[in-house]
Structure 1
Amino acid sequence: MKLKITDSFEGGRKRESMQTDRLLKKIENQRNLLYAKAKDRRLVDPEVVQMSQKLDRLLNQYHSLVTRDKSSRSKT
């Protein structure tokens, strides 16, 4: 069976969608961990800051993935 260009493109979209879904789950989990930790500690506590920075990195990854996906769709 030959793979058409459109099949390959759709497969790429599904992979990106799966990546996005996994990343959103990580973001949700990290956010919940951060909220739980911040509830019992001060916001300047080193652990809270570290967890917040990790959440920031995940959000930046998500933003990069989503904007890259949008820009690649607009080119087609």
Structure 2
Amino acid sequence: MSRKIKLIWDFRGEDALETAKHHTIHLKEFASLEKLHFYEINILEKNPMLVSAFIIVNETDMKTFRDALKPHRGEIA
């Protein structure tokens, strides 16, 4: 069974929340266009000036997402 990987993008500043929300749209579009499975796409608001967008994918698909979308970091979900 493949592990789940969370790929994360951090956004900072006054517009961080809106930027992260917008980024999730692009994550969904990419997954749809490439016909790739994902478990969850969402945001995590750490504080008003730091918001992260993330996608949880199978480890087998991680390199495709990573190479195309350049996340800031990843972790085992």
Q: Is the pair's TM-score, using the shorter chain for normalization, greater than 0.5?
A: no
The structure with the larger Rg is 1
TM-score, normalised via structure 2 length = 0.34
Larger RCO (alpha carbons 8 Å, 6+ apart): 2
**Higher share in strand:** 2
**Higher share in helix:** 1
TM-score, normalised via structure 1 length = 0.34
